[in-house]
Structure 1
Amino acid sequence: MKFEMKSSTAGVMAVRVGAALVLAVLIAVPVMAEISFESSCPQTIAEGDAFTIHGTGATNGSVTLLVFGRHYFHTFTANPDNRGDFSVTVGPEETRNFSAGQYAFVIQDPGENGQYEIGTRISTSGNITVTDRGTAVVDFGTATDLKPWIDPEIEILMAASGRAGVDDVFRVEYFFVELPSLHFDQERDPVTGRLILNGSDPRRMVFSGTTNMAPENVLTARIRDAASGKEIFTDTIPAITPADGMGPGKHSSWNTWHYSLDPVRLPSGEYIITVGWDKETWCGSNTALFVVPDAGAATGQQISAPTLFSLMNSGLFARL
């Protein structure tokens, strides 16, 4: 399940258009009581992940979602049920068209009269125009003119909602779109570049990290021989754990993943591990070196936990 965030209409509108206007709107017309969002991570959408908005209390007819972002503009429509509940999903086939940057998701309710006064249209040349009852108010240019920071366009749109005779109700939420990304928690040896794997269980080599990809994505661990590059085997990582926002570091709001490898599956040597998704080949994965130690500890070197377990399995200790 994706990260879900809930917020009230009044709170967001107060931030975006001023408390006085919010009070007037809330008194004049019934509006959506609550909106919640399902996204890859808190306030973050990874390209190629679905994004869903759920709403309640939409009793004025259909609801329109306008999405503004870097080089992107699109509208979606939802028809609430008889209780006023609705949902809009922007699917992976659409979010793959997103570019990194800030995106504004504008939810438009037609207001008490059930009619949209404020609209948008796209000309044959691609120009995006905001209209008031069919009359052009402002031209944003084409989608390619929209920048990574979309605040100026949203401020203009919100100003249009305050025009005389307009009772449409707007609600704005901002999310950041990122390329799918994945990181290892383990540090790398500054000399060899290998991951430093720590753990008390001699039967497991544990890899872990963070990702901005949603929990419903499937990650794969691929193990290759470092010398030849030949793939030895692949494993599916059981699950991505949703973020709780409580962890340390700059990726504390990201989801987490864990992969446990039994070292007896590999002879001693150096290997490459690649963890990532299969939707893309150029992003959403990370690669690192690691080593399954040999029996050199018999000469007095420190025996690592994986090596000790391998020696015990080999029967060497029984012959000593």
Structure 2
Amino acid sequence: METQLFIKKEKYSHKSAKRATKFYKLLLLVTIALFSALLISPVMAEEYGTVNVRIDEGAITVLSSGDGSYYLGEEVTFSGTNTDTNDLYLFITGPNLPLNGGVLTDPQTPVSTDPTSPDNTHAAVKTDDTWEYKWNTSGALLDAATYTIYATANPVNKSLLSLTKYDTVSIVLEKPFVTATVSSSTILKGDDLYIRGTATGDPPSGVAIWIFGKNYWNGAAVPMQYSGMVTETVNDDNSFEYLLESAETKNLSAGQYYVVVQHPMYNGQFDVITDAEEQWVIVKDRLNIYYNSFVVWGVGYLQGSDASEALIDGINSPYVDDTYYKLSFIVENPWIKIDSISDHHAGDLFTISGTTNLDVGTEIVIALTDSFFQVSEEKTDDFSNISSTVQVVEGINYNEWSLDIDTSDFSENNYKVQAESIEFNVSATANFSIINSSIPIPTPTPTPVKPVSKDIGAAIVSASASPDKSEYEIKEPVCIKANAELESSGDQTFPAPHSLKAYTELDNPEWHYIIKINGHGEEQVTKGKNLIISGYLLEYPSDKNEIKIEYLLEGNIPEINEISNQTLIGLSQIDSSGNIASSGPFLLQRTVYPDLPDPQYKYEKIILNNGWNFISTPKKLDPSGGNNTAGKLFGNVDSGGHSALMYNGSNGGWDAVKADTIIKPLDALWIYSNSTENQDIYLTFDSNPLQTPPSKHLSAGWNTLGYSSTKSATTRDTLIDVSEKWTKVIGWDAEEQNFEDTIISGGSGNYADSRSMLPGKGYWVWMKDEGTIASLAINSMEV
């Protein structure tokens, strides 16, 4: 609208006119304009000047800072423009709030239309028509939801919006959360430990870090009155970090420690706190009316998991709005272990190795002495005692160390190995012997025990492999993704005494996993075949928490000796006795094809490799012309001066193979080939059908056994005649000049008795009682 006003010339200024327009109501301005036009005479116009004034309707705008999504407890800035009035009023609408809007600073209170009400939220409009208001949501009793903020020119509620200028903006308020992780799940005494995490909602009090263990609470101090809860400031990016220094951890007892990270939530203050007195420190609720307190330090204090659970009970109180996140770690004494060392022959090259929990790069001194060595004596033989320093390197389950040994100067004797860390004052010893026997006899390996099953409380909802296919080859890289959603166990999401075990048969496995509490969690990384999450970390009240574990596993398909199904990932719930739940584990398995060595037998010939060969004839040989004698078969073999040998299980001795020795099925012999090329030994089988199938008596203890068929069969089927008496079978890889993995009766994985025994090969068989085995084949016919 535009009209003409008569304004006295010496009184007028543009600034005063602009300011005046904000106070005139439209109707009043029109009235003044009309009366001015009618009543002012032409004479008066000469004394007064004229100006054209345009009066526009006022407008309101409102914006919120950031992306419009905030955690309860954070500060939200509203801003905008107001060209209608000098004050800007704000109110809020949303779930469980007054129908016509609530006061922004107290959303449960209905907004007032009284301009003089002290409850109304308003902001002054600046001279440039802009305004700004900062809203701290920490004191607002609001649910996590979407809300609408109204900015109005006058104090009205939602039902009176037609009487004023206004604008709106929508915001999303989310529930604050806290997540955390430890820098290492296992530390040595004297190591630093970091607890790092995320706490949203801008908690002004930060977060509280509680650590409980045997005779330990991280808030303890001397004198007692200085003890108290430990807090850490939350940074602007919602991160926090707490350091448990080496000076503290070096005095900790070995064992498990329990961590609770406490978040003050909506009201911005901790509702479960400490109260230090002369004789003890008490944990209680801030108002001292809801929660049964407990002694955290001093006379009668709770320790370890008892203290942790008591604290969590308090935070879970319905009158406390705080939340928490649980962690644990283990403090270990330093240790060094030496892997089992088998006996060797003089001249062997082998490796002494072991594991340790010492850090990568730590030096370990390896000392090797023989049984004759005395410090005061001078050595008279060729052996020089070995002392060497090696460094710890990263391993799979634990860190590792190793030292290569050349026994060329060793004599037949007993030897002692000592591995020692001078820095950590820890050592380990082991013994082995240099023996003169031509062929070593393997040491029995214990048979694995299968666990008893019980009920399960966790379920895998999905698991997949990438690349995902039905068959894999050894050493092939693979990535597994799996999710486990916990079913509630009564009032809790998971029973605290139980654990969730993930496992794999992949080589070089690396686990990335996140324990998500209501959708939030921190990624953790570990290595090893097994990943065990304690029930302590998974137990939360089931009525208001959803727990999900996300796994990402990377590794390589394992090296195996035969086609078999391998477990890419498995998941089981383990009870307090170490048993698997009765409904069984979840298993993601795939078929794996091995990279088999060249066969020892092919097309009626035995193939000798360079070095030692452990061989047998798959069927009875033709006796005519001496075709079944060692001289006829092996007369052209360059043995490099080594005798061919057969082991006698009845007396534990070795018999030299002579030229006239009959080579029979089920017998196995050791023969050395000095040729750098493979050498073929052609066989002529006996075609006479009128013969008794071969059999062989096996003594208790170690025996050698030849495989009696031209077709492979499982070890279980091959030894069916002595199925209750054999425990272990060991073959020889002539190509690699190493013993193969032991086959165990009733074993699994690489030790499974489903592994094949192969034509042309010899095997060691351990019998716990004597027995007789019959051949699988007879002359030219296979059974």
TM-score, structure 2 length as denominator? 0.28
| Greater percentage in strand | 2
The 2-side partners of 1:52 and 1:197 are apart by 45
* 1:166 and 2:320 matched: yes
Match of 2:252 among 98, 106, 109: 98
Of 424, 428, 438, 1:302 maps to: 438
User: Structure 1 residue 286 and structure 2 residue 448: aligned?
Assistant: no
Partner residue of 2:298 out of 136, 139, 142: 142
Q: SS state of the match for residue 309, structure 2?
A: helix
Say whether residues 1:132 and 2:285 are aligned partners.
Answer: yes
Q: Quote the offset at 1:257 in angstroms.
A: 0.8
In structure 2, do the counterparts of structure 1 residues 140 and 63 end up closer, same or farther at CA, with 3 Å as the change threshold? closer
**How far apart are residue 50 of structure 1 and its match?**
3.1
- Partner of 1:112, secondary structure, is helix
Residues 137 and 73 of structure 1: CA distance in aligned 2, closer, same or farther (over 3 Å): same
SS for the counterpart of 2:430 is: strand
- How far 1:220 moved relative to its partner? 0.6
- One-letter amino acid of the counterpart of residue 130, structure 1: V
Residue number among 404, 407, 424 corresponding to 1:261 in the alignment: 404
- The 1-side partners of 2:360 and 2:391 are apart by 12
CA distance in 1, matches of 2:366, 2:299: 39
Amino acid of the residue matched to residue 206 of structure 1? T
Count the aligned residue pairs.
244
Residue 141 (structure 1) shift: 4.7
Cα distance in 1, alignment partners of residues 180 and 344 from structure 2? 43
Q: Secondary structure at the match of 1:240?
A: coil
| Counterpart check, 1:178 vs 2:326 | no
Partner of 1:55: 197
Aligned pairs for 1:1-320 within 5 A: 29-32=175-178, 34-39=179-184, 43-58=185-200, 59-61=202-204, 62-75=206-219, 76-125=230-279, 127-133=280-286, 135=288, 137-142=293-298, 146-147=302-303, 150-163=304-317, 165-186=319-340, 195-196=341-342, 202-203=348-349, 205-211=350-356, 213=357, 215-216=359-360, 218-223=362-367, 225=369, 227-228=373-374, 233-243=387-397, 255-263=398-406, 271-281=415-425, 284-290=426-432, 293=434, 301-302=437-438
1:163-204, Cα deviation, whole Å (9 max, x unpaired): 465332222223343333332221xxxxxxxx32679x954x
Check whether the contact 1:70–1:146 (CA below 8 A) recurs between aligned residues. Answer: no
* Residues 1:91 and 1:119: Cα distance change in structure 2 (over 3 Å): same
The answer to which of 53-62 and 99-108 deviates more is 53-62
Offset, 1:94: 1.7
Q: Distance in 2 between matches of 1:25 and 1:132?
A: 24
Gaps of 5+ in 1: 1-23, 187-194, 244-254, 305-320
SS at match of 1:159: helix
> What one-letter code is carried by the residue in structure 1 that aligns with 2:177?
V
After TM superposition, the score normalised by the length of structure 1 is 0.61
Distance (whole Å) between structure 2 residues aligned to residue 234 and residue 143 of structure 1? 52
* Match of residue 736 from structure 2: none
- In the alignment, structure 2 segments of 5+ residues that lack a partner are 1-142, 146-172, 220-229, 377-384, 441-783
Query: Residue deviations 1:239-278, cap 9 Å, x none?
Result: 13242xxxxxxxxxxx141312343797656554333444
Higher relative contact order (CA 8 A, sep 6+): 1
Tell me the distance in 1 between the aligned counterparts of 2:241 and 2:400.
29
Matching residue's letter, 2:298:
T
Structure-2 separation of matches of 1:266 and 1:78 = 62
Structure 1 counterpart of 2:50: none
Query: Are the equivalent residues in 2 in contact too, given 1:71–1:143 (CA < 8 A)?
Result: no
CA distance in 2 between counterparts of 1:51 and 1:143 reads 28
Larger radius of gyration: 2
Q: Distance in 1 between matches of 2:144 and 2:246?
A: 34
Measured after TM superposition, the shift of residue 290 of structure 1 is: 4.1
Q: Secondary structure at the match of 1:171?
A: strand
